[in-house]
Each structure stands twice: as structure tokens, then as C-alpha cells.
A and B are shown apart, each in its own frame.
Chain A
């Protein structure tokens, strides 16, 4: 199986990809309307919560963090695979990433934008959000640089701005193609402005390569640090069940895992909707699936490490939390997390399922369900069985406000992603051409080598 067919004409690549920017079908508007309705639910819930106070989210004294923090970690995690595909695999010269990294990178940016909202939704005094940023002010007040939450705020802002820059820079040659092929309307103006006068001269290409590589190198340590810092929110606290040294790598593995699963989901949807079968080939899907399988096993291993280190640590409180997770109120969710995160991915080990699209769609959604549950199972059980016995068994089920905002966040992500797909080329045209060219070269060399023989 080939990653891409070397016979595709370059002009065809342009036509095929630009077609995805044309007027959408009816279904697009329907899904868009659903997404907006979901956002409306979330906005309604948030307005209510803003007016009334955080109490309507049904949090209480031990349970001060709820679904907001869990879902925040989920969306931050989702953002990691874009960077994996576009930056790490770029440095490793993995050609197969080329047709799929653009939408993965967009996914990174949009999931970060969603995650950022959850931090705000979570705050008791949303209107004082800026207090947690180190801005110069006349009162000389600074945030607390010891707090992992502050590192979070800074890491996320840095990662978000770098991701947007990376997404944009990588798109410039494609935006120029759009500019040259679209002759009127707001799109022409938009592409003209955004393509920054790109003409494809040698000098431009050289500068472009250097810039792209530099941002890629900058982004990789950022991606790792962002999720390590999110893990520090828990690992650096002293609560049983959170105070685990292996949390940073565990969180990073979990992040790559859910991100890869989301890439499979979006891959299948885009491939079907835009008829990108020639670019998003089954061979590439297979590689993504294998990558996901490998990461799922790393995640499973780190999970086992966490359980084992808690079990053998003789730390009574941490052990009690672990037992409570497996047998207490949250047991169904916890076991479901183990099932979705460690058992379901075993299907991906079988060759015949690695290209079976309906199975993969279902599996990728289940994996992400498992990863969402994982985050919830990190946050919630510690509160119901912490150090202090007075707080035990105060279970607090999140109210419709929390569920509504979590639900709406998926609509928000869908909306951003759908708008992106219709405004920007979701397959990198110039890199697919490169890939086709590489293959042609390889074939030619093979031919000439044969001839010489």
C-alpha cells in the first residue's frame, strides 16, 4: 500500500483541495446549526452560573473542582497531537504526516481555545481573571509565581500563541495558491492579505523553511511542558491520589493518546466529507492507527506504574483513594475508563481493523470517552476520600450547569473546526505536491538503478 499515488497531477491537487472551500452542502449548515445550538446551551448555563454564583454547578466544600477542570485537561490533552504530527514528525522527516497535519494543527489551536475557556468558566470571579496574569500595574501586585496554576496560565498562553503562529506560517504557500485561484469577493481580499505577498521565489522558500523549522523546534518542548504543568497542578499538591511523581509523563502520554484518537475521528470525517480519499489514504490512516496503538500501550503502562507505586508506597491515604476509585461511587466510571483506555485499543493491534473505517470511527470515539473519564477520575475521587475523614462520602453529582457547559464545549470546537475547514485548505497542498514529487523521484531512481544494472 502506498501513502500517496505518484500519478496525481499537481493541478489536480489544487482543484481537489480548493473544492473543499466551495459552497458547503446542506448537511454542513445543519451540523453548524447544531453546533451553535450546543454553544447556546453552554452560554445559557454560564450566564446562569455567572449571575447566581458557582453554587448552581453543584460543587461543595470538599468537591471544589468538578467537570470544568476535568474537561479543561481533556481539551489541553487533545491539543498535543497536532504538535506531534506537525512538529515532531516534521523533524523526523516522516513524509506520511503531510496530508493530515494541517487539520491536526487546527485541532490543536481550537482545542486550546476551548480549554482556555474552561479555566475562566471555573473561576469564582471570572471578572477578575486578569489578576492571575503577570501584568504591570500601579499597585505593584504580582501573581504568585509558586503556584502551578500560574505556570498553567503562562504555559497555555505561550502554547496557544505559538500554535496559532505555527498553523499560520505553515499555511502561507497554500494561502497564496488560494489567492491565485479565487478571483473575487471577501475571500480574495482575505487570502491576499494573509499570504503576505508570497510568490514562491527561492529566497522566500528558504526563509520559509528556516522559520517553519524554528517554530517547530520551539513548539516541541512547549507541548511537553504544557501538559507536564497541568499535571503539576495535581502532582505538586499534597492530596492523596494526586501527589504522584509519575503524573507529568502520564499526562503527556494521555494527551498524545486522546489527540491521536481525535485525529483518527476527524481524518475519517474529512476524508468522507471532502472526498479526500486520494490524499488521506488508508495507508496513512494505518500509520496513524499504529501510532495510536503504541501510545495507548504507553498510557496503559504508565497507569500501571501509578497504581503499583501507590499500592507499594504504604501511604495509607493514597491507597485508600485507589481502593475507593475501584470500589466506591465512581467505580463504574473508573472501570469504564480502564476498559475504553486499555482494552478497546487492543482492537487496533489487528491488521484487518487498522483500515476498517466504521470500526476505527467507533474505536476512536470510545478512546476519547475513556480519556475524558480518565481526567474526571483524576479530579473527583480524591475529594470524596481525601485525608480528612469528615469529608468522606460527600459525593456531589455535577449539576446540569456543569454538564451543559461541557456539552457546549464540543459544539464550540465543532463550530471553530467547521469554519476553519471552509475558509482554509485543510490539506496542505504544497506539501502533498512535495510528497508526490518525492515519490516520483524515488521511482525514477529505482528505474535508473534497474537500467544501470
Chain B
């Protein structure tokens, strides 16, 4: 990139802001998570560890808040002071929301986190200097920093399991930021297959690891541009618009039959993950 290129094409680097009406074509990866179906079993989290070579940091570091779970199950209790097992646990699977106008992207001093044309928020490990500004500015706190040099010094992947690492995913060294990628390695391979066959990826052809592992099928994942995809239908049924910062449910439309919302929408980061509100009242 020359300076003249930089000056002329600067806007191109950040062009996929939803309010600019630039359509994602032919892909816009998105997710929907049904909180009514989620049982908080943590299978998604385990699947993510296996798929994405996440280091298992151990109890002590976990207690220090230094765990690396890209996909985490958050647990909230009802506040009426009931005891186990009636205290009414609510679960919320939380991972990078792949915001369209991501707060993390603008603040990175070296441009290590960027937006891809298919609507992902990508992280370039080699470029990251570890200023952690992205994490400081992330409203969801879903970015995980390599506090230690996990691949070499810490015994996070026991020696007898040396063959268990996923060869399609980089193992990250110390001092870089990482986060959920929507299993970008699977997306890339599916897109390549489709491209070779002169088509776009069919719905259901590619699954994220968490989606694949979820026993009640609470997680749906797919291409929001594809009108046949399940995710597209779900978003449409819930009247959830990617370029809105308040959805029909919150406006009280349709007598509140709607369940779809996105977390912290009012911050206008336009997340790509829709949650379906829980309707059950009993504890799991």
C-alpha cells in the first residue's frame, strides 16, 4: 500500500458499516441462539475448546479471570433468595458478537482487527501488538488475551494429546488477543468448495463447532443474505433488522409475541447474533 493508495482508498477499509447500505454479497454470517432451548450444559464451550485449540489454563488461572473460553456460558440467578436447586439459573451463551460496527476495530492502533466482506470481525494474530485496547472497548468483554505463552511454557495441552490439536487453526503465542471467529476455518473451506463448484454455500453445509455440539439445537448459524437459510427465516420472523439499534420486540409491536433481540443494541455496534428470549419460567 502506497501513501496515495492509502489516501484514495481509506474509506474502503471500513466500508461494511450497516448504515452505509453496502450489501454483504454473497455472504453475511449470522447466528441466532434460542435461550429457551439452552440448558447450560456447556457442550458448546467444550466443542469450541477442541475446535479452536483453546488452551486449558487450569483452576488457578481460571480463578484469576484468565481463562480463554471463546464461548462461555454465563449463569445468572434469580434474585429472590431461593436455595439450590430452586434458585432459578438462567444461562446465556456468550461469544464474539461479530458486530457490524465493531467498537474493537476502530481503536486497534495497528489495525490487527478488521471487518471481512462476509461480515466477520477478524483478528490478525501476527499483527497484534497486545495493547488490549480492543478488549477495553468491547462492550461484551468477549476478547481473550494470551496472558502467558500457552503453547510452550504451560502444560495446557498434555504431551500425550499432541495429536489432538486442530491442524486448521493457528496456535496463538503469548501477548496476542484472540476471540471467537465463527469457526472461520470451516467457513473458508466451505466457501472454497462452493466456489469450485460455481455456487454459494448451502444452508446447513457449514456448522460452527458450538452449533454442532449443542444437544437441544439452540444455536442456528448461517448466511443472512440467503433467503432460504434458517437464520434468515428466524431473523425475519422476529423482525430483527441488522441495521437497527432497537428491534420490534422492544418497541412492543405484535403484542409482544416476539422474542428476538440483540444484546446491548443501544450501543449501535450492530451485533450479528440474535438471541431468542426465554419463555419458560421454571429453573432448568
Contact = CB atoms under 8 A, between A and B. Distances in A.
A140 to B, nearest CB: 4
A53 B141 contact: no
Contact of A60 (B64, B74, B103, B131): B64
Contact of B145 (A52, A64, A140): A64
A153 B146 CA distance: 23
Contacts of B217: none
A124 B109 contact: no
B131 A149 contact: yes
A124 B130 CA distance: 4
Contact of A144 (B108, B141, B146): B108
Residue among B5, B66, B92, B147 facing the most chain A CB atoms (10 A cut-off): B147
B147 A390 contact: no
A123 interface: yes
A179 interface: no
A141 B147 CA distance: 26
A387 B107 contact: no
Given A140-B2, A237-B136, A62 B141 contact: yes
Interface string A131-165: 11000000011111111111001000000000000
Taking chain A's interface residues, is the majority helix, strand, or loop, or is none over half, making it mixed?
loop
B139 A237 contact: no
Contacts of B92: 390
B149 interface: yes
A239 B135 CA distance: 11
B129 interface: yes
Interface string B133-173: 10111011101111111000100000000000000000000
B61 A55 contact: yes
B264 A124 contact: no
A396 B147 CA distance: 14
A151 to B, nearest CB: 9
Interface in A206-247: 233, 236-239
Nearest to A130: B129
A131 B110 CA distance: 6
B239 interface: no
Chain A's interface size range is 35 or more
Contact of B1 (A62, A141, A233): A141
A142 B6 contact: yes
Nearest to B269: A238
B144 A147 contact: no
Nearest to B66: A60
Contact of A122 (B127, B131, B144, B264): B131
Interface in B12-70: 14, 61, 64-67
B139 A124 contact: no
B141 to A, nearest CB: 5
A145 B3 CA distance: 13
Given A124-B174, A387-B139, A387-B267, A147 B65 contact: no
A394 B174 CA distance: 23
A145 B131 CA distance: 15
A61 B145 contact: yes
Given A140-B2, A143-B110, A390 B149 contact: no
B111 interface: yes
Contacts of A387: 139-140, 264, 267
Contact of B175 (A124, A140, A236): A124
A143 B127 CA distance: 10
B66 A386 contact: no
B1 A124 contact: no
Contacts of B94: 390
A272 interface: no
Interface in A37-85: 52-55, 58-65
Contact of A52 (B74, B141, B153): B153
Contacts of A390: 72, 74, 92, 94, 141
B132 interface: yes
B153 to A, nearest CB: 7
B264 A53 contact: no
Contact of A64 (B128, B135, B153, B174): B135
Nearest to A145: B10
B135 A53 contact: no
Contacts of B240: none
A188 to B, nearest CB: 45
A386 to B, nearest CB: 7
A432 to B, nearest CB: 44
A129 interface: yes
Given A55-B61, A238-B137, A239-B137, A146 B106 contact: yes
Contacts of A62: 65, 141
A186 interface: no
Interface in A349-394: 383, 386-391, 394
A150 B109 contact: yes
A132 B110 CA distance: 5
Contacts of A184: none
A156 to B, nearest CB: 12
Contacts of A153: 109
B133 A149 contact: yes
Contacts of A143: 109-111
Given A62-B141, A390-B74, A142 B1 contact: yes
Contacts of B110: 131-132, 143-144, 150
A239 B264 contact: no
A390 B10 CA distance: 36
Residue among B66, B109, B130, B264 facing the most chain A CB atoms (10 A cut-off): B109
A444 interface: no
A64 B134 CA distance: 10
Interface of A: 52-55, 58-65, 122-126, 128-129, 131-132, 140-150, 153, 233, 236-239, 383, 386-391, 394, 396
10 nearest A-B pairs in the assembled complex, by CB-CB distance: A124-B130, A55-B147, A60-B65, A124-B175, A140-B1, A144-B111, A149-B109, A125-B175, A64-B132, A53-B148
Given A62-B141, A132-B110, A142-B111, 14 more contacts: A53-B149, A54-B147, A55-B66, A59-B145, A61-B67, A64-B132, A124-B131, A141-B111, A236-B107, A238-B137, A238-B267, A388-B141, A390-B141, A396-B65
24 contacts: A52-B149, A52-B153, A54-B130, A60-B147, A141-B111, A143-B110, A143-B111, A146-B107, A147-B109, A147-B111, A148-B107, A149-B107, A149-B131, A237-B133, A237-B137, A238-B137, A238-B267, A239-B136, A386-B141, A387-B140, A387-B264, A388-B139, A390-B72, A396-B64
